[in-house]
Structure 1
Amino acid sequence: MTRVLNRIESYYDAVPRSSARAEDFGPLTFFVREGADGWPFYARPTPGHPDDATVEDVERVRARQRELGLPEAFEWVAETTPGLRAAVEASGIVVHEHPLMVLDGAPLAVSAPEGARVRTLAAGDPDLAAAVAAPYAAFGATPGPGDVRRVAARITEGLTVLAAAFDAASGEALAGGQVQPVGDVAEVVGVGTRPEARRRGLALAVTAALVADARARGTGLVFLTASDADVERLYARLGFRTVATALIGEAPAP
């Protein structure tokens, strides 16, 4: 399992670099997005650094995040950087635990639920904006025009695959998600279903479509982070197995 986690750590260090610059803080690397669009990113442990991060290291990163007007956020894997949690929490950051899951073998075949169809979308697909918006609606949010442009650009560059579930009658986008490949590793991210369409198996079908696409492209390691135990059980039905704990640290609400 150490080898698998090392591959995931290498992926975590590589994937933001396609749309962010890396700022060196010794045992921590802070990824800063390029431009105003897209995910604001976070700080992570620096792969291979000989020293553990201290509270002072965390505070230096937080000061830089505040300077840039970006979230004070940290992400890491508990099992590969066990000492970081103490330093992060000592600085006042709140840490959340999430199951880190890896796909074992071939995924379970999942058909689209009755009354829905699931497909991947090209950058120029007329339904792209609606497909991008569906997971945002799951959290009561709306993407901006820049978010849709960014996803389209990443699809064109082969950095993202987007799949969505559509109502077979109306064509409305009900759920969506993405898989982001880097070399032989890919992460399933951002899967969400519109509130009015939940409990129909749409998220599971979208995830299955993303996994199938990744496998068809020759991806050897597919993983994801579950938000909670209920979602963990959902993904286990596809063949994902929990192998570690992903930690997300955020500044407390003012």
Structure 2
Amino acid sequence: MTPVLKRIETYYDTVPRPSARAEDFGPLTLFVQEGGGWPFYARPALGVTGEIPVGAVEKVRARQRELGVPEAFEWVAETTPGLRAAVEASGLTVREHPLMVLEGEALAVPEPEGVTVRMVGADDPALHSAVAAPFAAFGVAPEPGTAERIGARIEAGWTRLAAALDGTGEAVSAGQHQPVGPVSEVVGVGTVPSARRRGLGLAVTAALVADARAHGAELVFLSASDADVARLYGRLGFRTVATALIAEA
């Protein structure tokens, strides 16, 4: 395992814990969301890199069904190569996503016209629209209370939120990074359909990287949805170092 992937593995094991209960299933850990919000997933226990039996996957899936949460697993292919076969044998579908790391500062991108790109605080009037914009990108609405939960995470220092705001102060693109010590992951970047193809997502990502660096992040990474999106992030200087895997029923 490379030093970068080792740091990312430690990050993945740490970042859910402030708002989740970790349940031990031997080679697997199931994170259970507490206090509402988007449900978490199961992943390899920290330090596990070898084969994982199908039985362990099935025990976790049974517990997820008992809890009424999605039967979902997330891991890095190169770190735990033996998990994929067990997950697929249990009947789940695995999707691949480029895992990308940025070394140094983000490369400059053209500043989009007609918007202001900035960080959004917990008491910011733009909070609700900034939280809603990435959901709108996928044609869904956030659950009630999502903005308040994100605001609480911002106040606690677990989440940093950036948005591109139009002339009315409404967010048309937004995203987050989630710092844990010197490592932060960029997540949830999305642009509302009416504002796409203007470079807003890249501008928001660049703002998130700048903020992460300003707050001491030495390693900034993200998972791209596919190779086409990975090429866009490449314009900021991100490079693919591994493959993030997500398995769902």
For normalisation by structure 2, the TM-score amounts to: 0.97
Q: What displacement does 1:170 show?
A: 2.5
1:45 maps to a residue whose letter is P
* Corresponding position of 2:119: 120
Q: Could you say if the C-alpha distance between residues 185 and 50 of structure 1 is closer, same or farther in structure 2, counting changes exceeding 3 Å?
A: closer
Aligned-residue CA RMSD (Å): 1.1
For 1:219, the equivalent position in structure 2 comes to 217
Distance apart, 1:51 and its partner CA: 5.6
Paired residues for 1:120-159 under 5 Å: 120-159=119-158
Q: Which residue of 2 aligns with 1:22?
A: 22
What percentage of residue pairs aligned between the two structures are identical? 72
Indicate conservation of the 8 Å contact 1:101/1:244, yes or no: yes
Instruction: Give the corresponding residue for 1:175.
Output: 173
The residue type equivalent to 1:20 in the other structure is A
- The answer to whether the Cα contact below 8 Å between 2:11 and 2:180 also exists between their aligned partners in 1 is yes
Q: Which residue of 2 aligns with 1:2?
A: 2
- Conserved? CA contact 2:50–2:80, under 8 Å: no
The answer to whether the 8 A contact 1:27-1:51 is kept is no
CA shift for structure 1 position 111: 4.6
SS of structure 2 residue aligned to 1:176: strand
Give per-residue Cα distances to partners, 1:97-126, cap 9 Å, x unaligned: 000000022211235301111010110011
Question: Structure 1 residues 158, 16: CA separation in 2 closer, same or farther (over 3 Å shift)?
Answer: same
Aligned residue type for 1:220: E
Instruction: Report deviation, 1:127.
Output: 1.1
Deviations for 1:196-223, whole angstroms, at most 9, x for unmatched residues?
1100000000000000000011110000
Extract structure 1 runs of 4+ deviating beyond 4 A. none
Q: Is there any run of 5+ residues in structure 1 with no aligned partner, and where?
A: none
Equivalent position of 2:76 in the other structure: 77
User: Distance between the aligned counterparts of 2:164 and 2:55, measured in 1?
Assistant: 46
Displacement of 1:229: 1.1
What amino acid sits opposite 1:233 in the alignment? R
1:2 is matched by which residue type in structure 2? T
1:56 maps to a residue whose letter is G
Size of the aligned set, in residue pairs, is: 249
The DSSP-based 3-state class of the residue aligned with 2:74 is strand
Distance between the aligned counterparts of 2:111 and 2:23, measured in 1?
43
SS of alignment partner, residue 82 of structure 1: coil
Paired residue secondary structure (2:15): helix
Write the distance in 2 (CA, Å) between the matches of 1:32 and 1:85. 22
CA distance in 2, matches of 1:111, 1:34: 40
